[in-house]
């Protein structure tokens, strides 16, 4: 097929959509210190302590339009929170019923569900297995690490409860992935975290999320920061452990992030390549082959995944659920119109168009693209704003893996794509 041909489904151009669905808004049964979503309760004006729930009419409309507005052989629903399992199995039985009702012939509908695992029991296990849900389970590492920030409202760690959820996933042979937040504590223990996920949890896919939040994150959207308060890269106040830091104390530092990824990469390369799936490493291979990075954070564009709240409000991205970035409400506007609106397109293209020169001249722009704009908290040494807080860590990681990924890609028989010419390196796996 030529590059100019548009892929077809049922004789029409293919049309896809991805929406992170928050059927219970930010409501959660625990109270993780670093959660970026709990504070949406105030920001979105939900009543204090209420559990906003997508009502039956809204759920019906959402499922119908999400299916109708896509023309693709596979439609994926993403259920997140807050904690979506608070809605009970009954709610998700209704979800599956509605999906069957509106599913066109020849289309497969899939579901993924992100959970802290605490409420998973045999009833959930049977339901998730029967309906082939992919479950993302949040676990930060061994007990001491997990319990540092993943606590209940009484401040007690939730490790044991989450492990019961993991047991249910194994018992019912449910397809799952782990989601591990990398903070100032877990960031210092890369091998303990990785080996725990590999050997104890037996995680089929390890997603690592760097925790990066400026102190102002609860009410100020990224890119709405005061320029005058933006720090230069390398300033001590950008380190989370500085007494006057602009960052929350629980954040991973850029240096930790680089070391975390490099250390895990070395173990993965020596022991587990081909056996353990770490999306960052798989994505690097794609990037080095010149393909579009499958991870939005490291790709050239934002805006392909919207977020919908329990009341039907739609936002530019799960990380931009702020009033400024609201696109509309499904009671009043089409999802598709919102996805392709000028506002959303501008949001999408800004990821690349607002890169500072330091990124444009970087050896690894093709693999990084300035990472997620929500983390672009710093100024470059020349005073341009919009440099990623994790830049030093990402740069270290890309430089570290470059010779190995080059070798892996060459071994696969592909030509390595890079935007620069550099001296040949000693390519030798340890
Ligand atoms: S803002 Fe971040 S998470 Fe959202 S689409 Fe852009 S890169 Fe992805
Ligand atoms: S490594 Fe740093 S300079 Fe290079 S593209 Fe990423 S954020 Fe920009």
- Mind listing the pLDDT tens digit for each residue in 258-310? 999 999 999 999 999 989 999 999 999 999 999 989 999 999 999 999 999 99
Which atom of ligand 2 is closest in space to residue 358's alpha carbon? 3
Is the model's pLDDT at 12 over the cut of 70?
A: yes
pLDDT tens for residues 198-231?
Answer: 999 999 999 999 999 988 776 677 777 777 778 8
Is the model's pLDDT at 420 over the cut of 80?
A: no
Of the candidates 140, 259, 313, 318, the residue annotated as catalytic is: 318
Terminal Cα-to-Cα distance of the chain (whole angstroms): 41
Ligand 2 centroid to Cα of residue 388, in Å, is 7
Within-domain flag for 139: yes
By three-state DSSP, how is residue 108 classified? Answer: strand
Q: Hey, which residues does 78 pair with through a beta bridge?
A: 20, 112
Which atom of ligand 1 is closest in space to residue 318's alpha carbon? 4
Q: How many domains would you assign to the chain?
A: 1
Cα–Cα distance between 80 and 18 in angstroms, integer?
Answer: 13
Which atom of ligand 2 is closest in space to residue 391's alpha carbon? 2
Determine the angle formed by the axes of helices 122-130 and 88-102, rounding to 10 degrees.
10
Q: Is the CB of 365 under 6 A from ligand 2?
A: yes
Cβ-based neighbours of 57, under 8 Å, separated by 6 or more: none
Strand 108-115, strand 134-138: pairing: parallel
Cα–Cα distance between 141 and 264 in angstroms, integer?
Answer: 13
Within-domain flag for 193: yes
Identify which of 320, 359, 377 to mutate to test ligand 1's pocket (most ligand atoms within 8 A of the CB).
320
Identify which of 353, 367, 395 to mutate to test ligand 2's pocket (most ligand atoms within 8 A of the CB).
395
What CATH number has the domain bearing residue 242? 3.20.20.70
Look up 318 and say whether it is catalytic: yes
Question: 98-103: long-range contacts at Cβ-Cβ below 8 A with a sequence spacing of 24 or more?
Answer: 98/59, 98/60, 98/63, 98/64, 99/63, 99/67, 102/63, 102/64, 102/67, 102/68, 103/67, 103/75
| Domain around 265 | 15-425
Within-domain flag for 26: yes
Q: Nearest C-alpha to atom 6 of ligand 1 is from which residue?
A: 302
Cα–Cα distance between 92 and 113 in angstroms, integer?
Answer: 10
Q: Is the CB of 233 under 6 A from ligand 2?
A: no
By three-state DSSP, how is residue 59 classified? Answer: helix
Dihedral of CA 348/352/356/358: which sign?
positive
Within-domain flag for 9: no
Within-domain flag for 5: no
Within-domain flag for 343: yes
Dihedral of CA 125/50/179/111: which sign?
positive
Nearest CA to 289 out of 161, 418, 417 is that of 417
Within-domain flag for 109: yes
Within-domain flag for 10: no
Average pLDDT over residues 168-182: 98
pTM of the model: 0.91
Ligand 2 centroid to Cα of residue 71, in Å, is 36
């Amino acid at each position: 097929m030529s590059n100019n041909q548009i892929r077809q489904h049922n004789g029409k151009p293919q049309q896809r959509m991805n929406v992170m669905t928050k059927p219970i808004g930010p409501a959660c049964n625990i109270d993780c210190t670093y959660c970026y979503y709990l504070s949406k309760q105030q920001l979105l004006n939900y009543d204090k302590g209420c559990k906003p729930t997508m009502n039956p009419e809204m759920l019906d409309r959402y499922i119908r339009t999400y299916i109708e507005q896509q023309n693709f052989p596979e439609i994926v629903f993403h259920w997140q929170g807050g904690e979506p399992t608070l809605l009970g199995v009954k709610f998700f039985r209704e979800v599956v019923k509605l999906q069957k009702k509106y599913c066109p012939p020849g289309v497969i509908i899939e579901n993924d569900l992100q959970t802290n695992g605490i409420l998973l029991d045999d009833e959930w296990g049977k339901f998730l297995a029967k309906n082939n849900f992919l479950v993302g389970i949040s676990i930060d590492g061994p007990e001491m690490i997990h319990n540092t920030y993943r606590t209940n409202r009484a401040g007690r760690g939730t490790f044991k409860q989450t492990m019961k959820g993991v047991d249910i996933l194994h018992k019912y042979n449910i397809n799952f992935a782990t989601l591990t937040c990398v903070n100032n504590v877990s960031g210092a223990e890369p091998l303990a975290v990785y080996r725990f996920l590999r050997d104890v949890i037996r995680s089929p896919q390890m997603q690592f999320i760097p925790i990066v939040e400026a102190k102002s994150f609860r009410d100020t959207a990224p890119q709405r920061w005061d320029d005058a308060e933006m720090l230069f890269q390398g300033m001590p106040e950008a380190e989370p452990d500085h007494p006057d830091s602009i960052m929350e104390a629980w954040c991973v530092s850029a240096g930790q992030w680089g070391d975390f990824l490099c250390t895990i990469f070395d173990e993965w390369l020596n022991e587990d390549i081909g056996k353990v799936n770490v999306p960052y490493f798989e994505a690097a291979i794609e990037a080095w082959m010149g393909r579009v990075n499958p991870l939005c954070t490291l790709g050239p564009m934002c805006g392909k995944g919207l977020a919908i709240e329990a009341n039907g409000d739609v936002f530019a991205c799960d990380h931009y659920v702020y009033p400024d970035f609201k696109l509309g409400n499904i009671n009043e506007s089409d999802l598709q119109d919102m996805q392709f609106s000028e506002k959303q397109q501008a949001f999408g293209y800004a990821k690349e168009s607002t890169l500072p020169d330091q990124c444009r001249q970087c050896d690894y722009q093709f693999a990084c693209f300035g990472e997620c704009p929500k983390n672009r908290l710093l100024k470059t040494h020349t005073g341009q704003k919009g440099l990623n807080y994790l830049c030093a860590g990402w740069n270290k990681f890309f430089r570290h893996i470059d010779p190995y990924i080059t070798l892996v890609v060459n071994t696969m028989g592909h030509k390595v794509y890079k935007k620069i010419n550099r001296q040949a390196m000693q390519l030798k796996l340890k």
